[in-house]
Structure formats: C-alpha cells, structure tokens
Structure 1
Amino acid sequence: MIGVLNNRTYRHLYAAQIVALTGTGLATVALGLLAYDLAGAAAGLVLGTALTIKMLAYVIVAPLAAAIAERVDRRRMLVTLDMVRAAVAVCLPFVSEIWQIYVLIFVLQSASAGFTPAFQATIPDVLPDERDYTQALSLSRLAMDLESLLSPMLAAALLLMVSFDGLFWGTGLGFAASALLVVLVALPSPKPVPRRGIYDRTTRGLRIYLKTPRLRGLLALSWVSAALGSMVIVNTVVIVRSDLRLAESAVALALAGFGLGSMLAALILPRLLDRVEDRSVMLAGAMLGTGAMGLTALMSAALPMTLSMLALSWALIGFGYSTVLTPSGRLLTRSAHPADRPAVFAAQFTLSHACWLVFYPLSGWLMTVSGATVTMAALTTASVGGVLTAWAVWPRNTAQPVPHSHPDLPPDHPHLNGNGPHSHAIIIDELHPRYPQEP
C-alpha cells in the first residue's frame, strides 16, 4: 500500500492531509476546553451549536466553492483556504464571547467545505491508475482513523506544557504546514470548460450526482454511515460514563474499538476491491455495521452492557463504516469528467453532511429521552432503510459499456466517430443528460 507514496506529488499531498488532520484534532480538544472556560456547565450546548454550524457550513458552502473551483488555479485555491483556516485558528485564543466562537467556526468550516472536495478531487488527477488511487483512499482512511486515536493523546501531552490556548497555535501551524506542502508541488488542473452561469456551476455537481444510479446508491449508503457513526460519536461518552459508570479512560477504549475496526477495513480493502466490485463490498459493509448495531440493541435489552461488548460492537461497526466510505472516491471519480470532479466531490460532501445534520441531533435527542437500547434500535431501523434503498437504486455493473444511440446528433458529430448506435460507460454530461436505460 505504501508504494503509492513513491509519487512525489501525492506524498506531499498526503503529508499535507496528515498535518492538517493533526491540527484539526488539536482544535477539537481545545475548543471543548474553551467552551467550558466561557460557558461552564452549558459547554455542551455551545459545542452542540458549533457542531450544527459546522454541518450547515458544509451543506451550504461546498457547492458554491465548487462553482468557484472551476475558474481558479487548484493549487492557489488550496493554499489560500489553508491560510484562511490557519488565520482563524490563531484568532481563537483571543475569543472572549461565545458568539465569537460561532462566527469563527463558521469561517473555519466554510474554508474546509471549499478545501476538502477540491483536495479530494485532485488525488485521482495525480494518481490516474485506479489501483494506486484505491491505495491512496485506504491511506487517507488510515490517516483519519489514526488522527482520531492519536490527536487526543498528543493534546494531553501538550497540555502538560502549555495552556489549552496553545493548542490553537498548534492548529494554525498544522494548516500553515499543509499550505507549504501543497505549494511545493505542481498540481494538475482540469482543462478549461465552456463558460456557464453561476446557477449552472453551483448546481452542476448535484445534478450529475443525483442522475447517476451508483451515486444515488452512495447517497443511501452515506445515510447508513451517518446513522451508525452518529451513535458512536455522540453517545459513546454517555453510555460509558452514565450507563456503565466507568472512568474517562474507558471512553477512549470504546472509541479505540471503532477506530481499530475502521483501520482493519482500510488495510484489507485495496486487495479486496481488486477482486470484488465496489457495490458488493460497500453493501456488505453497510449490512455488517447495521447488523452489529441491531444485535447490540437486542443484547443490551436482555443483558447488562459491558465495556468489552461495547468495544467489540463498535469495532464491527467501524469495519462496516470504513468499508462503505473508503471506496466512495472511486465511484465519484468514475462518475465525472476531470473538469466536473470538484463539483461532484462537493456534491458528495454536501449530501453526506446533510445526512449527519439529521442524525447528530436525532441520536443525541433519542439517547436523552429513551436511552441507549431504543436509540440503537431506531438508528438500526434507519440504517436498514438506507441499505434497502441502495440495493434498489444501484444496479450492478454500472461501470460497464451501455449500448445507446444519439438520434439528436448529426452523423458527423465527433462523439459518434462515424457510428450510429455505440457502446461505452456512461458519465452524465451535455451529451448524456441521463442514463440511457432510464425513461
């Protein structure tokens, strides 16, 4: 898997991702401490509001940023957004009012909503070979999982030497280092595209996404990932501290189970995806995670919950979660021309975070009013609905050539190449506004 790091450009981009993720992890810890410093017992409400603002920024800003990305140099855009994030991070230590947190978080996450899809869309241009790209996706997943495990430990070590304000400076340094790594390499940019209006550019990614059957299946599986992931992210601390009455260290052990399951899937997937189609792998992962959540709900209703039971369940859910998310970049890349990739990646970013915007508050509310068993049962039901929808809307072999014709094109049109009816894999564009088999 690490052979892909021999590519100098990708090596710089991967290093940029790692240092930016580390900075983000430090900011997560510091933001919680800042909220408690300003709001005391109401810190949970402040963080919940900040998380909602983050999701809203992702949903609203990503399509607008994708429209801008069509017209600007890719490297310049990434570096600028990294520097915006660094500037916001170094402003956070000077916050004295709660509303200032909300404003800065919106700016920070708006920059991330522009940066992340453009960054993700650059990787398949740097690594055009699908096997290399699959390995890069697994490495990216490993980086995210390791960050979730190691950043809290790094933050704890730093807090022995500096106050929590110092963590924000570390965050700013991480984003600045990311910008430096990006600026040191030349990035391919898509070829110029015909001039389009702002509405067309803003909605283009969403229109391509929703007209592509395999991406509609991906959206349904993103719903599953959000349902399963929200239970782990939002409620692990409540289950461990309130239901099991264990120490804070037990929260880390339970979350480590989720992370280790996810990392194991990321290590296995490159070879597995060489042999099995993405649809089968991703549906199997969704079913595994859903089944693990449902079984845990049943067991918690009949037996006392234990930490080992919870960690094992979270590991299975983490394995399924990573199995769904890791191959998604391959689907997006296959479903768009290079010039449209930033828009399509932005559409996935927007729609997947819209799913999280549903499940974050729902998961927390259900846990508060009904407890863990009912919450897991409800989220399992929602997840089953997502799996069934993905199964129904995502046909098999959508990457295979599809016989079709273009009666609206003149016989000498370059796309026809002298042929009438012809066959190729379908990508939604001006010549193929919908899949041929669809009415």
Structure 2
Amino acid sequence: MGLFAHRDYRRLFGAQVIALFGTGLTTVALGLLAYDLAGPDAGLVLGTALTVKMVMYVVIAPLAAAYVDRLPRRRLLFLLDAVRASVVLALPLVSEVWHIYVLIGLLQAASAAFTPTFQAVIPDVVTDEAQYTRALSASQVASTMESLLSPVLAAVALTFLSFDRLFLGTSAGFLLSGLLVLATRIPDARPSAHSKAWDKAAAGIRTFLRTPRLRGVMALNLVVAAAGSIVVVNTVNHVRDQLGGSQSGVAWMLAASGSGTLVAALALPRVLDRIAARAVMLTGAGVLVAGTGAALTLVAAGIATWAGTAAVWAVIGVGMALVITPTGKVLRASVARQALPEAFAAQFSLSHLAWLVTYPIAGWLGTAAGFTVAWSVLAVLAAAGGAGALLLWPRRDGRPTAAVAAESARHAPSRDRSALAKAA
C-alpha cells in the first residue's frame, strides 16, 4: 500500500499542510506588522517576538512530552489548534509593540506543545520503515512548499488586501487542521518508562548527550539557526530599507529561500536511500556555512542586489533542507519506539534553543550595529556548529549499526528491543 493510500496518514498530512500554510502567512504578516509599528526598528521587534517564541519552545516542549502519555493525543492536538486559531485572530488588533510579544507567547506555547506531539504521532501511524522515510520527506516537502508558496500567496494577496487580513487565513488554517486531526484515528501514547514528570522531560536530553550521532545533530541545529535567522529576521529590513522593495518584495524574497529548500527536498528521498544521513546532513552544514558567508560578503562589500540576495537565500534554503529532512530518521534509528515522544520533544527544544541564541543576534545586534556585524557573528557560529558536528558525530556512526542498536536496546523496555535490533 502506498503512503498516501493510508487514510489516517493522508488526513494527518493534510492537517499539517493546511496549518503550515496558515503559519507561513503569519510569518509574512508578522514581519510587516512589525515594520508598520516600528519602521526601521522592525528587526528589533521581530527579533524580540521570535525570541519569545523560542523561550516558549524550549520550556514548553519538554513539559508537554512529560505529560502527553496521560492525555488523548487526538483531542489534545485539536485543542491546541483551536487555541492557535483564536490567538491569531487577535494579532491584527494590536496597537502597541508589547501586545505582539504577549500574543506571540501564547501562540507559541500552544505550538510548542503541538509540534513534537504531532511528530511523535507519525511513526505510530506509519509503522513501515520505508514508508516512514518517505513520510519524513513528504513532511519536508510540505514545509518547503509552504516556505515557497506562502510568500507567493501573500505577495498576491497583498496586491488586493492589507497585510492584517493575512492573519484571517492563518486562523482558518489552524481550524481546518484541527478538524482533520479529529477525523483521524490516532493511538494514544504508550506509557513512558519514567514515572516522574521531570524524569520524562529530561530523558530525551540525556539521550542526546549520550548518543554520538545525536550530539552531532545538536551541533547542526546551531548551523541551521545561524543561517536561518538571517532569512527569517532580517529579510524585511534588508528588502525594504537596503533594496528599496515593497511589502510584496519581502514575500518574494522569502519565496526565493523556499525554492532552494523545495529543490533539495524533492531530491532527498532517493538520496537518503543510497547515502548515509551523516553525509547528507554534514553537506547541508557546509552549504549553510557557505550561504552565510555569501550573505555577509554582499552586505560588507555593499554589493547586495535583488538577484544576488535571491541566489544566496536559495542556497540557504537548500542547506536547511539537507540538514532538517533526515533528522527524524536519525532520531527513529537512535531510540526505542516508546521513547520517541521524549526524543522528538528534546530535538524540538534543543533546535529552538539554538534559534534562541541566533534570533537576538540577527534582530537586536543587527538593529544596533548593522547587518555586517550581526552576520559576521552568525557566520562564526555557523562555522563552529559545522566543525562541532564533524567532531561529535563519528564517521563510523553514519548509519545505524548493530553496536548502536544494542546500546539503545540496553536502555529500552524489553518489548522495544527487537525493533531496535531490526534497525541495525
């Protein structure tokens, strides 16, 4: 049976796509709202709002993982979608910058609980290893299509509508996503081997710290965040103030980054069948380091153009896809099935901890000292993350091996040991 012949996965995938497009419209609208309220200081406002988002992700995701096995996941996911839809409706009504911070905090607290829970549902619905690999790639393609098409849709919509109307599309997306989740058969989480909430929250972090390949993933998170912050935080000011572009120009430049991600994501399923995830992800890190350096060169030398910026943004999009897409497969090969919610929540928090470092650099330092200084710091961080991944992720650990599976099995409940052995 093909992946999309699976009814429950098809509905979950539809829910993901719809919510992603809603989120993409919010990303564009939030940047324009920040520019509307703060003008040249939009990067500072957006950087602060995204820092609030990262704090919520880092704090809430492990706590959600600690309690998710006590709650019906289908109803929980619907409730979180409903909360996000309600909060987004209030964003167009803000008149002060601090209103943005409060609403973004509420919105992202719900997202921080939703995303790792949703990620952990997929391997319970798609149990075949080959189909799960394709489900990961399909998920990345969906994210890529959102990053490409949402800005395009926003650019078209902004021709006829004011940017605050984009928030209405986001709210509708979250509601439709929740309805599709309600129509899906989702098994409840298996009881965790850890009885105390703190033990559950910390279990995924401990797994990352003791597993070489996952330590490498932590370093790669920094590379992604350093390069991605330039695109997410600084595009609006770079396009509006340095390139003299319009609101639609901001959306089209974000679409350039999405186009690079799309090209890479479409090629990755076959690539990952033949090449180790380590090689693919480290290549992605190299691409991101190069892209960050190229962005720095454009602004430092004063040679930034529409075409040059779009090309660099596309390169960064390619690198992000190469790193992010195989991550779920690496996680699944590294932990017992029962521990997947904790592992996904840990990756969610650790990856966003890296963004918590880089967002203020792009937003606050970029506003105070200029893009050249801020992007120099981000380029150094990207290079440090890439070097760290090379050192922390041994070459022999590039694919699941019997030794790695046996190590994971020693920490797994007996009913999960056979599954881990098969992963070898």
Q: Deviation string for 1:93-121 (max 9, x for gaps)? A: 55566544433322211110000001011
Aligned to 1:218: 217
Match of 1:361, SS state, is: helix
Please report the RMSD computed on the Cα atoms of aligned residues, expressed in angstroms: 3.0
Which of 404, 413, 424 is the aligned partner of 2:406? Answer: 424
Whole-Å separation in 1 of the counterparts to 2:86 and 2:215: 37
The alignment partner of 2:127 has SS state of coil
- Normalised by the size of structure 2, how large is the TM-score? 0.86
Matches within 5 A, 1:29-428: 29-32=28-31, 45-93=44-92, 95=94, 98-155=97-154, 157-158=156-157, 166-194=165-193, 196-298=195-297, 304-398=303-397, 399-402=400-403, 424=406, 426-427=408-409
Which amino acid counterpart does residue 78 of structure 1 have in structure 2? L
CA distance in 1, matches of 2:39, 2:372: 30
Cα deviation 1:64-98 (Å, max 9, x = unaligned): 11111121222122112112222323344555665
Give the letter for the 2:411 counterpart.
D
Return the alpha-carbon distance in structure 2 between the equivalents of residues 97 and 326 of structure 1. 38
Q: Distance in 2 between matches of 1:257 and 1:428?
A: 46
Q: For 1:43 and 1:232, how far apart are their aligned partners in 2?
A: 14
> Aligned AA for 1:75?
R
Deviations 1:309-342 (A, max 9, x none): 2222222221111100111111111222222211
The 3 A distance-change label for structure 1 pair 115 and 220 is: same
- Offset, 1:289: 1.9
**Partner Cα separation in structure 2 for residue 104 and residue 368 of structure 1:** 23
8 Å CA contact 1:336–1:428 kept in 2: the answer is no
Q: CA deviation at 1:213?
A: 1.3
Specify the SS of the correspondent of 1:292: helix
Task: Output the CA distance in 1 between the equivalents of 2:173 and 2:317.
Answer: 27
Mapped partners of 1:93, 1:372: distance in 2: 29
In the superposition, the TM-score normalised over structure 1's length comes to 0.84
Greater percentage in helix: 2
Are residues 48 and 362 of structure 1, via their aligned partners in 2, closer, same or farther at CA, if it must alter by over 3 Å?
A: closer
- Residue 402 of structure 1 aligns with an amino acid whose one-letter code is A
- 3-state SS of 2:408 partner: coil
- Is contact 1:25-1:151 (8 Å) kept? yes
Judged with a 3 Å threshold, the aligned counterparts in structure 2 of structure 1 residues 42 and 243 are, in CA distance, closer, same or farther, namely: closer
Distance 1:335 1:370, change over 3 A: same
Gaps of 5+ in 2: 415-424
Check 1:169–1:250 CA distance in 2 against 1; reply closer, same or farther (3 A cut). Answer: closer
Distance (whole Å) between structure 1 residues aligned to residue 243 and residue 161 of structure 2: 33
> Using the alignment, how far apart are the partners of 1:318 and 1:350 within structure 2?
22
Q: CA deviation at 1:301?
A: 5.1
* More displaced stretch, 377-386 vs 265-274: 377-386
Unaligned runs of 5+ in 1: 404-422, 433-439
**Counterpart contact for 2:61–2:346, Cα < 8 Å:** yes
CA distance in 2, matches of 1:166, 1:363: 27
Residue 400 of structure 1 deviates from its aligned partner by: 0.4
Q: How far off its partner does 1:44 sit?
A: 5.4
Separation in 2 of the partners of 1:30 and 1:64? 30
| Structure with larger Rg | 1
Report the Cα offset of residue 150 of structure 1. Answer: 2.6
Q: Count residues with an aligned counterpart.
A: 412
Residue 335 of structure 2 contacts residue 408 of structure 2 at CA under 8 Å; is this kept in 1?
Answer: no
Change (3 A) 1:311 1:194: closer
Q: Distance in 2 between matches of 1:246 and 1:159?
A: 14
1:31 and 1:62, CA in 2 relative to 1: closer, same or farther beyond 3 A?
Answer: same
